[in-house]
Structure 1
Amino acid sequence: MRKCAVSVEIRMSDPVSISWLPDSVLLEVLSFLSVRDLIRSGRVCKRWKRMISDKTLWKHVNLTPYKLNSKIMWHFVRHWLRTSLQTLKLKGLLHSVKKQEYLTPAILQEMAKRFSCLENLHLEQTSLHSISYDCFPSTLKTLELSQCEIPMVWFNASSNQSRSLPKLENLMLNNVSSFSNHHLETVCSQSVLKTLFLSGTYRVTDIGIQKSLLFLKGLQHLKLQSCNITDIALHLIGCHLKCLQTLALTNISMTDAGLACLSSIKTLEKLWLEYSIHLSSDSIIAVCVTLPALNFLCLNGIFEGHGSIDEIKKKLPNCKVTC
């Protein structure tokens, strides 16, 4: 059954206007409210308060619109967030005048005790200098850091742990400027990653890719954007990552020779080659026709205003080509 989008205006001061809705439908309506509105809705009437306490409303929580400090964070952890919490998105004040810390080792330890289902943690504009990697809940499968600061020695497990995050499968970093080759090698050696996204991590070079690939045999999704890598890294990727399903290469210094190395990844289904101005249409065609599973190709910023795209589309009839 196809879901239809329905626009509903909720007047929290007048619960009678939608009191006729059954619990299942009201719960669906409440799921579209922000965290702030959910909390306010709990004050409307007893029925709404009971509905707001439903665990399904608190599986995926986004707190990035709000300015947080440690006191507010403690209040959320103790009084609002439920044990069913699976995804949590947080934003700090790293680039503001008041650089208040909202995450502390004590808060993370309390989260680890209370939220046994927490699998996805997204941190934005957060300083992690005072927080050890060991403090994060061991249940995490996805860790995403955007515009965060990390110390030079991070991702290291303590002496009594072989792995700090034993279940970590997905690691995404966006504009984490201090992330280096050492960080990459360390986290890859301690995790069995399926997804690795590195965007704006200019300290990552061919050497870091080389040392990390030994631990990434099962990697399925790889994104490298604005990293300091060359054809050497592409050669290594083609040799070692035989399970890749998606590969995104954006603003990377590569040539036709490096692209040719990807022809050995027969499992590749989706490929992004964005802003790689040194690639030729003949080379792209030569590589893509050897990839039997390829069904999507993005060439954004390469052949704008040229007829090469039409030729590529003609040679790849079973692949959606965008630019």
Structure 2
Amino acid sequence: MAAARVEVSVLPDSVLLQVLALLPPWDRLRAAGVCQRWRRLALDRTVWRHVDVSQRRLSSGALWHLLRRHLPAGLCTLRARGSLLSGSRPPLLSQPLLTALGKRCPQLRCLALADTDLRRIPYESIPASLAVLELRRCEIPAAWFQPESSPRPLQHLLVHHVPAFSDHHLLAACSRHRLDTLSLRGSYRLTEAGLQRAAPYLEGLRCLELRGCDAGDATMGSIGYHMKRLRRLELIACPVTGAGLGSLKSLQQLEMLCLELGEKVSPGAVIALGRALPRLRELRVVGACLGTEVMDQIRLNLAHCSCSHSPQPPA
């Protein structure tokens, strides 16, 4: 143990800073109590550019303390997890806290929230510097993402298992922001008509993930017509048929495709689509009952790309 401590002590500051940056925030604070040198390094601003406290349920008071004492002006990423069943306790985020976060950390680019109640927070309170917004199992109000005159740089929107997210949320978000990435999982309130209405606003989209959404053949037609710049497309647990896949042949820039094979999508339809996509380099096929012979057939006919199979959808 002593030898290990000696080895660590001789490491240059630049290496220790990289190690400390990989630790959870509470471990960084523990490291600050080891010695004067470690305190200086553990509290260095570069160590706190990316902060992930999502492993624990955080209280509003703890986040206020973190903001006032440790989050620097150069903070780029903040990941936090609240509690939707907090009882009488205040929710993780409030309008004053978000306003203070935006002022203190003007370089914040990514805000990832899980299990957070946002129903009393107007969308304008979200820091205007954000390029990435992730919402996982959160509650949002009915009037979020509404268009306004002031532009925002949001490029990547990930909405996973947010019960209230519906057609008007999607349309408002897509018409307000020029999205590069859109990831929707478990959005059971979205309808195929809503996805079609949003499609014209997504002509610059590069990455699209639809998982557990009502995205059928009509949605595939809208994707093929409006989203010709797509590089990555994932379709899992969506009611797509082989005929719908044919609409995706216009995605000539597509490089990665993840599909779930079922009764309505045959290997032949996948092969026909893959042959029509000259830039396709990666094909992921999902299906619990998919045999080795089927995958061998796909690989044989799509030699220009790497084909892999998984019985379960990728995480």
Equivalent position of 2:312 in the other structure:
none
The 3-state SS of whatever aligns with 2:78 is strand
Maintained 8 Å contact 2:92/2:117: no
Q: 1:182 aligns with which of 168, 175, 186?
A: 168
* 1:73 to 2:57 alignment: no
Alignment of 1:123-134 (within 5 A): 123-134=113-124
Cα deviation for residue 231 of structure 1 reads 0.4
Equivalent position of 2:210 in the other structure:
224
Maintained 8 Å contact 2:25/2:52: yes
What amino acid is aligned across from residue 84 of structure 2 in structure 1? L
TM-score (norm 2): 0.93
Write the deviation string for residues 65-122 of structure 1: whole angstroms up to 9, x where unpaired: 2332221111111101111110100101114666641211001000110111100000
Maintained 8 Å contact 1:213/1:240: yes
Cα deviation for residue 275 of structure 1 reads 4.6
* 1:156 to 2:146 alignment: yes
Alignment of 1:231-242 (within 5 A): 231-242=217-228
Cα deviation for residue 52 of structure 1 reads 1.5
Equivalent position of 1:195 in the other structure:
181
Cα deviation for residue 276 of structure 1 reads 3.8
Distance 1:227 1:287 in 2: 21
Distance 1:46 1:121 in 2: 32
Gaps of 5+ in 1: 1-8
Count of residue pairs the alignment pairs up: 309
Write the deviation string for residues 275-314 of structure 1: whole angstroms up to 9, x where unpaired: 5431111111111101000011111116522522111100
Distance 1:272 1:10 in 2: 50
Distance 1:167 1:218 in 2: 14
Q: 1:107 aligns with which of 97, 103, 117?
A: 97
Cα deviation for residue 59 of structure 1 reads 1.1
Maintained 8 Å contact 2:192/2:218: yes
Maintained 8 Å contact 1:251/1:275: no
Cα deviation for residue 15 of structure 1 reads 6.7
Equivalent position of 2:38 in the other structure:
48
* 1:311 to 2:311 alignment: no
Alignment of 1:264-275 (within 5 A): 264-275=250-261
Equivalent position of 2:195 in the other structure:
209
Cα deviation for residue 61 of structure 1 reads 0.6
Gaps of 5+ in 2: 310-315
Write the deviation string for residues 175-218 of structure 1: whole angstroms up to 9, x where unpaired: 01110001000011100000000000011121111111121110
Percent identical among aligned pairs is 38
TM-score (norm 1): 0.91
CA distance 1:49–1:313, change in 2 (3 Å): same
Distance 1:193 1:269 in 2: 18
